[in-house]
Structure 1
Amino acid sequence: MSMLTPSGMGGKYRITGDQFPRMRRPRRRGRVVAVVVASVVVLGLFGYGALQLFDVFKNDDGDTRANAAPQSRPCTASPAPALRPMVLPQPKAVTMNVYNATTRGGLAKSTADEFAKRGFKVKSFGNASAPYDKKVTQTALIVAGPAAEAAAREAGTQIAGSSVKIDPARKDKNVDVMIGNAFSAMASPAAAAKARVAAANPPPPSPVCGSSAAHSSPSAKPKPS
């Protein structure tokens, strides 16, 4: 009997040889469970990240479309009435009155004298009436009736920055020149010649362009004033 065989044991329980039998190490189930759990967590993180990226790109595309520049609206003609081209009369065919609407003295006479030198017929000069006295802010306001519109434009060419006012109630063909606060001197003959061409052939109305979104979108918010 071998020395490795306990006493009292024999037969099929006999152990022979001079070495102990090799025993297999028990499997570490805890490590396997940890690996599985870690894999599930990693896969979950990847899935969550992919979902977030999808939402980001989706929202960015929506914001891009929402903030995209609106399509430009076709230009339309201005509702303001356009001045019609007309043949302007020569200075000798224009009869005018020159009035001083400022607080500076002597402007009516000196301006009337200059108009006369340029061939205009000056009927009278003096201080402006109450509706215009100290109320004309530009260089001059040319007032006339419908029958004297061309004459008013001709007179306006002599003072840069002046404007023409047509009074429908007036029936005469005279022109009233109201000298305003911004007046300093009459235009040079060369500048008056250029202004005469522009007054006889006024440009067409400026187009009105806008965004189609501002006119078609009911949710467009007005800008604060």
Structure 2
Amino acid sequence: MGGQYRITGNRYPRMRRPRRRGRLVFLAVSSVAVLGVIGWGTLQLIDVFTGGGKKAAAAGTEGNCPTKAGTKASPVPTGAVQALPKPGQITVNVFNATSRGGLAKQTADELKKRGFHIGQVGNASKDYDKKVKGTGLLLGPASSLNTSLSVLSTQLTGAERRADARKGGDVDLIIGTGFKQLTGRPDADKALAALNAPQPSPTTKKDC
């Protein structure tokens, strides 16, 4: 060509198609996303077949009770367990509040055979004479209600336990009008063994 549009030199311009970088970026991002979805699905299948779901379920329960996020099992407060005295450590005063003679000595002799230490033996005072209903009344200091009197009560079923303002650790067995005899030795021994049996200590409180 000549004139104004004449081409000079020995190189000719090449006509290239414009690059479409946007499409390449889109394809790359799509490929990464697809690979991510495939990998996540594969991990889920592995968990299902290898028991991973069981571990997750176990983590959400405690003692067969479901736990909520941010909550903890509440410990059950345990009170101090007071040791019970043995019969030989308990001094028992035996008093007869009935009109039948000889009951105090007879009862005291039997308690002695069962290992109790015997103190005074005789008739009840005016405050209790002919006034004790039922099998009997067990009296002692406040500290003996759940200790010495508990042990003594295993020997006389149905006896009432009561605390008074006395000083010292001895206790009284006052025979009542409904008294026939002490609890049979085998039954008394079973009751005493159950009383001394250790109780299980609770650890955690379960609120299901």
Q: Which amino acid in the other structure matches residue 168 of structure 2?
A: D
The 1:200–1:180 alpha-carbon spacing in structure 2 relative to 1, beyond 3 Å, is: farther
Bigger-Rg structure (1/2): 1
Match of 1:108 among 89, 94, 104: 104
Q: Which amino acid in the other structure matches residue 162 of structure 1?
A: A
Q: Deviations over 1:104-125 (max 9, x none)?
A: 0000000010011111110110
What is the alpha-carbon distance in structure 2 between the residues aligned to residue 148 and residue 172 of structure 1? 10
1:152 aligns with 2:145: no
1:88 aligns with 2:84: yes
What's the CA shift for 1:87? Answer: 3.2
C-alpha root-mean-square deviation of aligned residues, in Å? Answer: 2.0
In the TM superposition, 1:1-225 aligns within 5 A as 86-149=82-145, 150-167=147-164, 169-196=165-192
What is the alpha-carbon distance in structure 1 between the residues aligned to residue 108 and residue 157 of structure 2? 16
Q: Deviations over 1:187-216 (max 9, x none)?
A: 122211333356568xxxxxxxxxxxxxxx
What's the CA shift for 1:148? Answer: 2.7
TM-score by length of 1: 0.48
What's the CA shift for 1:133? Answer: 0.7
Percent identical among aligned pairs is: 43
What is the alpha-carbon distance in structure 2 between the residues aligned to residue 141 and residue 197 of structure 1? 22
What is the alpha-carbon distance in structure 1 between the residues aligned to residue 194 and residue 95 of structure 2? 25
Q: Which residue of 1 aligns with 2:9?
A: none
What is the alpha-carbon distance in structure 2 between the residues aligned to residue 137 and residue 151 of structure 1? 22
TM-score by length of 2: 0.52
What is the alpha-carbon distance in structure 2 between the residues aligned to residue 196 and residue 124 of structure 1? 24
What stretches of structure 1 of length at least 5 have no aligned partner? 1-83, 202-225
What is the alpha-carbon distance in structure 2 between the residues aligned to residue 87 and residue 119 of structure 1? 18
**Matched positions, count:** 117
